[in-house]
């Protein structure tokens, strides 16, 4: 499982460091959860390739996101348990 976010590409940086990207190869992760602030369409599409199944990618919009999340991306819901 990969939980990642706050890319801010290209607003705050040009790209992820190559050494980091080399560790993240397509179809390697069972689940990819992105906490938002993706930055651009290319980064969003790259994240979608990391999960072994496209339906195993969950992305939420961050406060600085201008990237439109497609219907294949979903926003998780939380339920309170207990009293």
All structural domains of the chain with their residue ranges: 2-19+26-59
3-state per-residue secondary structure call for the chain: CEEECCCCCCCCCCCCCHHHHHHCCCCCECCEEECCCCCCHHHHHHHHHHECCHHHEEECCCCCCCCCCCCCCCCCCCCCCCC
Mean pLDDT estimate for the chain:
79
Give the model's pLDDT for residue 72: 45
Per-residue pLDDT tens digits of the chain, which is 83 residues long: 999 888 888 888 888 888 988 898 899 899 999 988 888 888 888 889 999 887 888 888 887 777 666 544 444 444 556 55
Q: Of the candidates 28, 27, 36, which has an alpha carbon nearest to the alpha carbon of residue 69?
A: 36
Q: Is the pTM of this model over 0.95?
A: no
Percent of the chain surpassing pLDDT 70: 78
């Amino acid at each position: 499982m990969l939980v990642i976010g706050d890319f801010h590409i290209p607003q705050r940086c040009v790209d992820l460091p190559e050494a980091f990207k080399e560790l993240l190869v397509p179809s390697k992760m069972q689940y990819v959860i992105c906490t938002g602030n993706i930055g651009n369409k290319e980064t969003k599409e790259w994240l979608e390739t990391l999960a072994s199944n496209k339906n195993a990618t969950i992305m939420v919009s961050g406060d600085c996101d201008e990237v439109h999340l497609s219907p294949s991306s979903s926003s998780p819901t939380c339920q309170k348990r207990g009293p």
